[in-house]
Every structure is written in C-alpha cells, then in structure tokens.
Structure 1
C-alpha cells in the first residue's frame, strides 16, 4: 500500500517540476518591460518662454498706459530687422507681473495675452507671414507692469 500512495502523489509533482522550470525564468510585466529606459523629451518640447530670457528684445512695449503708442517704433524695428536678415522669425512674449490674488492674476494673464496677440497682428500687418510669429506669455515676479517683448530668431 505505501507504494500506491507514492505513485498517486508523484505524478502531480512530476508535472509541477517542468512547469517550474519553464516559468522560473519569467518576470512580471511592468514599466520596465516595454520601456526599460524612458525617453527624455526633445529639447524643442520644453517651452522656451518658461526659461529666463538671455536675448535682447528687438522692441519692448510697456503697458503703463492703456494704449501705448507702439505702432511707429514697432514697424520701424521690424522693417530694419528684415532688411538685415530677411525671413526672420519673431517671438512675441507677454511679460506679466505677479499679483497677490488669483482673480487679479487671471485678469493680468488675460490682458497680457490680448496685448501679445495685438502686437502679433501689428507685425503681420507689416507684411510678415503669421507662421513666422510665435506667441508666449510668462509671469515675471520682477516685472512692475505688463509689457510685450519682441525677439528675433
């Protein structure tokens, strides 16, 4: 009788051994299975306007008054830049001061975006194609008033 019990127990154990050998080298599926080393985003995907500005602006328009007179100086600067290097591209950056309340900050952001869009339209009106002009907005804690800076690249 002891032999019969051993034969009844042994076949299931014998089947278990090959299964353990087959699946012993397996690992669980996780993030490392599909992307062992995650790709870094391309440098062009990092917003340039979020970084500190080291460039010198072609024009700075300060909104200390409701409607600053910028049209003449902006047109002259764009035409001078285009005469030196045709087909330049322009970055129009709204600089927005930091304010205390969220509602006031939202109002400043909206006004800054409107200012930048207005400057972009003025640049396009000088004959520059709109695909050569990019819009940005940045909150600057050091800024005392809203302004729009136009950079060339």
Structure 2
C-alpha cells in the first residue's frame, strides 16, 4: 500500500499578518460547495508550526486552535448545519505560521 495521498484544501488561511481578511473567500467557497453538494461536510483543521520549546509549542497550538474554532463557527453562521462541520487541530513542522485549512468530503 502506498503513502497516503495528501488532501487538497478548499480554502487555506495563513495567519502571517496582523489583519487577515478571509471571510469573503470562505463565503464564496462554502456557498459553491453547498450548491454543488448540499450534504457536503466541511473538515476545518488548524495547523500550528513547531516552536522552539514546549512553552512556545503550547502557545502556537492554542493560537492555531483559536483560529480554527473561529473559522468553524464562521461556516456555521453561513447557514451550514453544525453536523456538517468538523474541527480538529494539529502541528505541522513544514509551516512557519499558523494556518487553517478547510477540506470537503
């Protein structure tokens, strides 16, 4: 069996600036996905970079979690059934800033 294929995100939000304007892009993507498949499930995953030590890892993970939770809530506020929105959080050593990725299935 080969390596698991990496999923492609519908939307990726990178928190590499003080002000991040993502709601318009998110709304358009969510609206189109629901139009295409009304039973679509949105998997919101927050990613934290790996910090220098345990304390910075915790801070980065907490911040990424907060960003992801906000995006999941934004999707629900757009009228998506809460049962069609999942949320998880993890670390990714390949990134330098927190990210939230929205996947569909």
TM (normalized to structure 1)?
0.64
1:107-143 deviation line (CA, Å, top 9, x unaligned): 0111011000000011001100111111111111111
Which residues of structure 1 form unaligned runs of 5+?
1-51
- Counterpart among 7, 15, 29 of residue 63 in structure 1: 15
Q: Name the SS of the counterpart of 1:137 in structure 2.
A: strand
**Higher fraction of helix:** 1
1:97 lines up with 2:49 in the alignment? yes
Q: Give the paired residue count.
A: 102
Please report how far the alpha carbon of residue 79 of structure 1 lies from its aligned counterpart in structure 2 after TM superposition: 0.2
Q: Which runs of 4+ in 1 moved over 3 A?
A: none
Q: 1:72 to 1:53 in 2, by over 3 A?
A: farther
Which residue number corresponds to residue 121 of structure 1? Answer: 73
Please report how far the alpha carbon of residue 106 of structure 1 lies from its aligned counterpart in structure 2 after TM superposition: 0.4
Which residue number corresponds to residue 151 of structure 1? Answer: 103
Please report how far the alpha carbon of residue 53 of structure 1 lies from its aligned counterpart in structure 2 after TM superposition: 6.4
Matches for 1:122-141 after TM superposition, within 5 Å: 122-141=74-93
How large is the Cα RMSD of the aligned pairs? 1.2
**Larger RCO (alpha carbons 8 Å, 6+ apart):** 2
Please report how far the alpha carbon of residue 55 of structure 1 lies from its aligned counterpart in structure 2 after TM superposition: 1.1
Structure 2 distance, partners of 1:77, 1:53, is: 22
Q: Which has the larger radius of gyration?
A: 1
